[in-house]
Amino acid sequence: MERKEVIVARKLFNLGLKGLDDAITEGERIGHTMELEVGPTVFQVEISRPDRAFILHWCGMTNFQNIIWMRFVALELRWPPVRNLSCFTYTQEI
């Protein structure tokens, strides 16, 4: 499956849903987009207390080393009740 998304730096997990959405919008505005092939995905379910949301999370490896694709679907108790965020990010092994 091929995706056209935005690379978001290591700050991904510290941003929260609103910060991630803002970073993706800023990356699209600047023009930092690319297309990568995404392999099989892993599914997770999470609860975010700061965002007060039930989060569905998919993660898949690409053909570039340390570049992964992530999709978040947040189910919230406010408007809009469903938010969909998708991006590429990179990992560093220590």
Q: What is the pLDDT of residues 9-63, one digit of tens each?
A: 544 445 566 776 777 777 677 766 566 788 889 999 999 888 788 999 999 988 8
Sign of the Cα torsion 69, 8, 89, 59 reads: negative
Sign of the Cα torsion 58, 56, 91, 7 reads: positive
Rounded to the nearest angstrom, the gap between the alpha carbon of residue 94 and the centroid of all alpha carbons in its chain is: 22
Cβ-based neighbour number of residue 17 at 10 Å: 17
pLDDT band at 65 (very low <50, low <70, confident <90, very high): confident
Q: Domain total for the chain?
A: 1
Q: What is the DSSP letter of 14?
A: G
Which of 6-10, 53-57, 88-92 is modeled with the greatest confidence? 53-57
Residue 58: per-residue pLDDT:
93
Of residues 53 and 1, more confidence is placed in 53
Residue 50: per-residue pLDDT:
81
**Residue range(s) defining the domain that contains residue 31:** 2-90
